[in-house]
């Protein structure tokens, strides 16, 4: 904890009036304001609220607020003895706040930097609390009880203003509570876990000052630039409201002016006026899709992940680092590209939240930095991304012996980890396929994937068997380099196939197309042994390993799906062998296993793996930890649920492909699929009652609907639609942009209302209930 000399006690200012016009809100946001208690979204969201009747002691237990930029994790001030708490900490962190000294690498010189925290310090000793994190409004509300009285609070991180606002109404005995800001030491959090690089030192202390009633902590950076925390407390009657904002600037020192202006503007508004537009955005956000299933604990978990994602991600925000905007003590204070980023963003597609897609935006915006991550001899035609970068996709390898971040296959020790960019571009491809937005394909995916695959082509050589082989590369996290590494072979195969398909769609006759076809024809088979897929030709899978880098062709690439008995047996054997080694398995092991089981139609197995995840790894507030905080695993668990409810790989929309028997009832609405379809469907009593698809792009529509027997297919006006049966329970329908198809059992006219399903059993709420 910083010394007392670095503590600043807030001054109390006088109230200012103000008005805020709420005109121009989306129609669905305005409608949400007047929804009654029968509104299905309100019903499931209120049911999913997290509650605390016990004091959270860590980030893994407490409430969290955010908007993709500013984040606050809330829990007891550390250091208090068990059962006795003197203050509550509101952390203040920001996804754009980082160091800018690339000579010390991405984890020290470019690391995210801690900012500081406020403590809410009551007059009396804290004796109890009753808090609720309301998902629908994205607000924390409740009371803090002390031996002197009560403090009733409301808190949010404003969606667009990026202001932490905490309103506190004290009882008489708590009128003199206070807020205290504690600037953190601006040093990479990795310093607590690993030795400092030679010559590295922390940044100087923050400079605390007051500017006409607004307090500031200005953090100068040795590299130039600054980040500034500005705050102000306003009193209105018995209520006091804290307003805080963080601004970052580099290389100029302009953050101070922006921080002061933001706090002054926000603090002119009472909490309720400030909260109005914030709540409207969140209400509209949730209504873009709907999912209800009969497992109350998992349904609540799912909606919390949607809240968490929108708290941590925005299209224009930095790609999520390992802990999102909430920077806690961690050895991983930046963005990780060999699994974390990919898993963090998968759920945005099915849940219909492409407005959160920072991956496509960042890879496009900062593509110029990707050429600098490969050796200069390959930069003219190749791109790569190393294991870690800052938000601008810079690794900071200039201070290393190689001078670049992505190793050279067969040459660079210790870990030429080559496939990360291609895997990240698979996320971009998913965004294209779920929207059919040709600009994503033309302007981002094709040009970047072409150069990512081109890097492989420099090293691919024929062997004595006539097959094309890769020299030794590294499969993420499994020790040792191997020739014909499955991680790279699988990504190379997907990349060449995708480039050929993309070129055809775009009408491009690319000079490299013959080479891509040759790779698909002559590539060495994926190395396997008696236990299934190996790490590579030189390394069997022979120890406990959390990562499924050697299985990407199965999931998420769907290059191998069990189409033949031999292929199915290989997948099943590989999956069982992978999860059969206890010791190093972690949370995302079980989300990967759940999604692979869903691919095979094994809903019971998928649910079993999610159950192990929940009981062994997920924390009380649905966060996740290994050596430090990481958020990809709970978010990828939401994607595993998606994979059980709907799959759309290979040009076929599969409705309810892997549901366990206990999920006899299920409702999904406006689930986004590949081909840019919005799927709604209802299952009752173990029977699919109806399926509706709305086409946004006029793409070919093939759907495995799962309705037994004869069916009716009708358009949006109830008129019969022509369709073609293309397999058991599978039909093809021609839909133009904006058209819809409703599929039911023949003669059935089911209720098409979207409603939550009844839970099979009661379940405790997430958080720390009594």
According to DSSP, the residues that pair with 741 across neighbouring strands are: 693
Nearest CA to 226 among 196, 209, 204, 244? 204
Residue scoring higher pLDDT (334 or 477): 334
- pLDDT tops 70 at residue 96: yes
What pLDDT does residue 59 have?
A: 95
Give the mean model confidence (pLDDT) for residues 169-181. 98
Q: Cis (ω within 30 of 0) for the bond into 694?
A: no
- pLDDT tops 70 at residue 591: yes
What pLDDT does residue 759 have?
A: 97
d(CA 598, CA 672): 18
**Does residue 419 lie within any of the structural domains?**
yes
Domain stop point among 527, 558, 589: 558
Domain holding 697: CATH number? Answer: 2.60.40.1180
Tokens of 510: 């690319």
- pLDDT tops 50 at residue 11: no
d(CA 595, CA 600): 9
How many domains would you assign to the chain? 3
- pLDDT tops 50 at residue 24: no
**Does residue 57 lie within any of the structural domains?**
yes
d(CA 182, CA 656): 51
Give the mean model confidence (pLDDT) for residues 94-112. 97
SS (H, E, C) 400-419: CCCCCCCCCCCCCCCCCCCC
d(CA 674, CA 688): 21
**Does residue 310 lie within any of the structural domains?**
no
What pLDDT does residue 414 have?
A: 83
**Does residue 31 lie within any of the structural domains?**
yes
d(CA 75, CA 144): 12
- pLDDT tops 90 at residue 55: yes
* Alpha-carbon distance values, 606 to 89, 295, 657 (Å): 38, 14, 11
> Given the structure tokens 């698979």, which residue do they identify?
426
On whether both 369 and 272 belong to a single domain, the answer is no
Q: How many CB atoms lie within 10 A of CB 555?
A: 24
Strand runs (DSSP E) across 583-704, as ranges? Answer: 646-647, 653-655, 666-673, 677-684, 687-695, 701-704
Nearest CA to 122 among 76, 181, 178? 178
* Alpha-carbon distance values, 522 to 317, 447, 460, 467, 580 (Å): 42, 24, 11, 5, 33
Q: Crossing angle of helices 565-579/587-599, nearest 10°? A: 160
Q: What are phi and psi of 399, to 5 degrees?
A: -90, 5
Give the mean model confidence (pLDDT) for residues 526-539. 97
Strand pairing report for 653-655 and 701-704:
parallel
Containing 588, the helix (H) or strand (E) segment is: helix 587-599
On whether both 193 and 279 belong to a single domain, the answer is yes
On whether both 358 and 234 belong to a single domain, the answer is no
- Give how far the C-alpha of residue 210 lies from the chain's centroid of Cα atoms, to the nearest Å: 37
According to DSSP, the residues that pair with 180 across neighbouring strands are: 9, 119
- pLDDT tops 50 at residue 753: yes
Residue range of the domain that includes 694: 655-745
On whether both 250 and 381 belong to a single domain, the answer is no
DSSP secondary structure letters along 179-210 = EEEEEPP-S-GGGGTSPPPTT--PPPPPEEEE
Q: Crossing angle of helices 513-522/446-457, nearest 10°? A: 60
Q: Name every residue whose Cβ is closer than 8 Å to that of residue 94 and which is 6 or more positions away in sequence.
A: 69, 70, 71, 115, 227, 246, 248, 325
d(CA 432, CA 424): 13
d(CA 98, CA 106): 10
Q: Where are the alpha helices (DSSP H) in 238-351?
A: 255-267, 271-286, 296-312, 340-345, 347-350
Predicted model pTM = 0.94
**Does residue 585 lie within any of the structural domains?**
no
Give the mean model confidence (pLDDT) for residues 372-395. 96
d(CA 649, CA 432): 13
What pLDDT does residue 37 have?
A: 47
What pLDDT does residue 398 have?
A: 55
- Give how far the C-alpha of residue 449 lies from the chain's centroid of Cα atoms, to the nearest Å: 22
DSSP symbol at 166: E
On whether both 283 and 338 belong to a single domain, the answer is no
What pLDDT does residue 12 have?
A: 27
What pLDDT does residue 27 have?
A: 32
Give the mean model confidence (pLDDT) for residues 260-283. 98
Domain holding 267: CATH number? Answer: 2.70.98.50
DSSP symbol at 85: B
Give the mean model confidence (pLDDT) for residues 224-237. 98
Q: How many CB atoms lie within 10 A of CB 570?
A: 18
Tokens of 384: 């790569």
According to DSSP, the residues that pair with 667 across neighbouring strands are: 292, 682
- For 326, the 3-state DSSP assignment is coil
What pLDDT does residue 79 have?
A: 73
Give the mean model confidence (pLDDT) for residues 290-318. 98
Q: What's the pLDDT band for 400 if we cut at 50, 70, 90?
A: low
- pLDDT tops 60 at residue 9: no
According to DSSP, the residues that pair with 468 across neighbouring strands are: 462, 523
On whether both 185 and 272 belong to a single domain, the answer is yes
Domain stop point among 558, 573, 591: 558
- Give how far the C-alpha of residue 59 lies from the chain's centroid of Cα atoms, to the nearest Å: 17
Domain holding 383: CATH number? Answer: 1.50.10.10
DSSP symbol at 376: G
Q: What are phi and psi of 644, to 5 degrees?
A: -75, -30
Residue 93 burial by CB count (10 A; 0-12/13-18/19+): exposed, middle or buried?
A: buried
Q: What is the mean pLDDT of the chain?
A: 93
On whether both 434 and 521 belong to a single domain, the answer is yes
**Does residue 349 lie within any of the structural domains?**
yes
On whether both 413 and 525 belong to a single domain, the answer is yes
Q: Are 387 and 338 in contact (CB under 8 A)?
A: yes
Q: Are 307 and 63 in contact (CB under 8 A)?
A: no
d(CA 419, CA 316): 25
- pLDDT tops 80 at residue 725: yes
Give the mean model confidence (pLDDT) for residues 652-681. 98
Q: What's the pLDDT band for 92 if we cut at 50, 70, 90?
A: very high
Q: Name every residue whose Cβ is closer than 8 Å to that of residue 413 and which is 6 or more positions away in sequence.
A: 407, 481
Range with the poorest average pLDDT among 340-344, 395-399, 512-516 = 395-399
- pLDDT tops 50 at residue 25: no
What radius of gyration do the chain's Cα atoms show?
27
What pLDDT does residue 404 have?
A: 85
On whether both 446 and 541 belong to a single domain, the answer is yes
Q: How many CB atoms lie within 10 A of CB 124?
A: 17
DSSP secondary structure letters along 48-82 = H-EEESS---STTTS-EEESSSEEEEEEEPTTPPT
Q: What are phi and psi of 216, to 5 degrees?
A: -140, 150
What pLDDT does residue 38 have?
A: 84
What pLDDT does residue 399 have?
A: 53
- pLDDT tops 90 at residue 675: yes
- pLDDT tops 90 at residue 500: yes
Tokens of 122: 């009551």
On whether both 280 and 346 belong to a single domain, the answer is no
**Does residue 339 lie within any of the structural domains?**
yes
On whether both 237 and 368 belong to a single domain, the answer is no
Q: Are 680 and 671 in contact (CB under 8 A)?
A: yes
Nearest CA to 345 among 369, 389, 310? 310
d(CA 508, CA 123): 71
Containing 88, the helix (H) or strand (E) segment is: strand 88-94
Residues in the chain, overall count: 770
On whether both 271 and 341 belong to a single domain, the answer is no
- pLDDT tops 70 at residue 85: yes
What pLDDT does residue 21 have?
A: 23
Residue scoring higher pLDDT (214 or 9): 214
Residue 297 burial by CB count (10 A; 0-12/13-18/19+): exposed, middle or buried?
A: middle
Domain stop point among 558, 591, 615: 558
Give the mean model confidence (pLDDT) for residues 494-498. 98
**Does residue 574 lie within any of the structural domains?**
no
Tokens of 150: 């009560």
- For 739, the 3-state DSSP assignment is coil
Range with the poorest average pLDDT among 467-471, 539-543, 596-600, 689-693 = 539-543
Nearest CA to 356 among 159, 610, 114? 159
Q: How many CB atoms lie within 10 A of CB 698?
A: 15
DSSP symbol at 445: I
Q: Are 374 and 380 in contact (CB under 8 A)?
A: no
Tokens of 298: 């998992």
Q: Are 90 and 311 in contact (CB under 8 A)?
A: no
Tokens of 509: 């006759």
């Amino acid at each position: 904890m910083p010394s007392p000399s670095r503590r600043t006690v807030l001054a109390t200012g006088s109230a200012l009036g103000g008005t805020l016009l709420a005109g121009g809100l989306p129609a669905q946001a305005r409608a949400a304001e007047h929804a009654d208690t029968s509104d299905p979204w309100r019903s499931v969201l209120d049911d999913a609220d997290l509650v605390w009747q016990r004091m959270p002691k860590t980030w893994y237990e407490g409430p969290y607020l955010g908007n993709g930029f500013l984040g606050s994790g809330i829990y007891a001030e550390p250091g208090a003895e068990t059962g006795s708490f003197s203050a509550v900490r509101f952390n203040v962190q920001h996804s754009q706040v980082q160091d800018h000294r690339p000579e010390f690498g991405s984890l020290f010189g470019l690391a995210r930097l801690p900012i500081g925290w406020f403590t809410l310090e009551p007059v009396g000793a804290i004796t109890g609390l009753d808090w609720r994190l309301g998902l629908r409004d994205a607000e924390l509300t409740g009371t803090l009880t002390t031996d002197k009285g009560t403090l009733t609070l409301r808190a949010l991180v404003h969606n667009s203003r990026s202001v932490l606002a905490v309103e506190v109404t004290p009882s008489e005995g708590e009128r003199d509570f206070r807020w205290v800001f504690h600037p953190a030491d601006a040093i990479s959090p990795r310093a607590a876990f690993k030795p400092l690089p030679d010559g590295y030192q922390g940044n100087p202390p923050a400079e605390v000052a007051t500017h006409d009633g607004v307090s500031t902590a200005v953090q100068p950076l040795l590299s130039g630039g600054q980040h500034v925390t500005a705050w102000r407390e306003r009193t209105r009657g018995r209520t006091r409201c804290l307003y805080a904002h963080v601004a970052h600037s580099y290389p100029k020192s302009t953050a101070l002016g922006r921080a002061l202006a933001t706090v002054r503007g926000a603090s002119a508004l009472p909490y309720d006026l400030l909260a109005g537009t914030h709540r409207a955005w969140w209400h509209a956000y949730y209504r873009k899709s709907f999912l209800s299933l009969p497992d109350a604990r998992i349904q609540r978990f799912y909606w919390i992940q949607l809240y968490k994602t929108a708290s941590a991600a925005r299209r224009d925000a930095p790609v999520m680092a390992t802990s999102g905007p909430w920077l806690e003590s961690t050895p991983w204070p930046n963005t990780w590209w060999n699994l974390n980023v990919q898993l963090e963003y998968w759920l945005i597609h099915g849940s219909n939240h492409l407005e959160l897609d920072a991956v496509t935006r960042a890879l496009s915006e900062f593509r110029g930095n990707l050429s600098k991550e490969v050796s200069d001899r390959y930069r003219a035609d190749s791109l790569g991304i190393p294991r870690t970068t800052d938000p601008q996709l810079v690794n900071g390898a200039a201070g290393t012996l190689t001078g670049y971040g992505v190793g050279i296959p067969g040459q660079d020790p210790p870990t030429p980890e080559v496939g990360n960019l291609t895997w990240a571009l698979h996320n971009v491809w998913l965004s294209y396929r779920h929207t059919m937005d040709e600009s994503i394909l033309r302007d981002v995916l094709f040009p970047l994937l072409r150069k990512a695959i081109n890097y492989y082509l420099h090293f691919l050589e024929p062997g004595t068997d006539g097959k094309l082989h890769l020299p030794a590369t590294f499969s993420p996290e499994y020790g040792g380099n191997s020739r014909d590494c499955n991680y790279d072979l699988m990504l190379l195969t997907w990349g060449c196939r995708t480039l050929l398909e993309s070129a055809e769609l775009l009408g491009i006759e690319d000079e490299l197309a013959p080479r891509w076809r040759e790779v698909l024809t002559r590539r060495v088979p994926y190395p396997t042994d008696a236990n299934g897929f190996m790490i590579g030709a030189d390394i069997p899978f022979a120890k406990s390993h959390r990562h499924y880098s050697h299985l990407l062709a199965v999931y998420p690439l769907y290059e191998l799906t069990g189409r033949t008995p031999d292929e199915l047996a290989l997948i099943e054997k590989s999956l069982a062998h992978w999860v059969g080694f206890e010791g190093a398995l972690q949370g995302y092991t079980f989300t990967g296993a759940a999604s692979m089981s869903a691919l095979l139609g094994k809903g019971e197995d998928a649910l079993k793996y999610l159950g192990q995840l929940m009981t062994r790894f997920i924390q009380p507030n649905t966060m996740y930890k290994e050596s430090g905080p990481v958020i990809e695993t709970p978010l990828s668990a939401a994607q595993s649920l998606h994979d059980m409810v709907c799959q759309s790989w290979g040009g076929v929309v599969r409705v309810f492909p892997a549901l366990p028997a206990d999920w006899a009832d299920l409702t999904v609405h406006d689930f986004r699929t590949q081909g840019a379809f919005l799927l709604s469907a209802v299952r009752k009593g173990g029977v699919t009652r109806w399926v509706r698809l709305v086409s946004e792009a006029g793409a070919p529509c093939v759907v495995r609907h799962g309705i037994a027997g004869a069916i009716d297919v009708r358009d949006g006006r109830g008129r019969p639609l022509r369709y073609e049966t293309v397999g058991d329970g599978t039909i093809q329908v021609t839909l133009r942009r904006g058209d819809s198809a409703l599929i039911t059992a023949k003669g059935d006219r089911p209720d098409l209302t979207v409603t939550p399903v009844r839970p099979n059993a009661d379940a405790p709420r997430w958080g720390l209930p009594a």
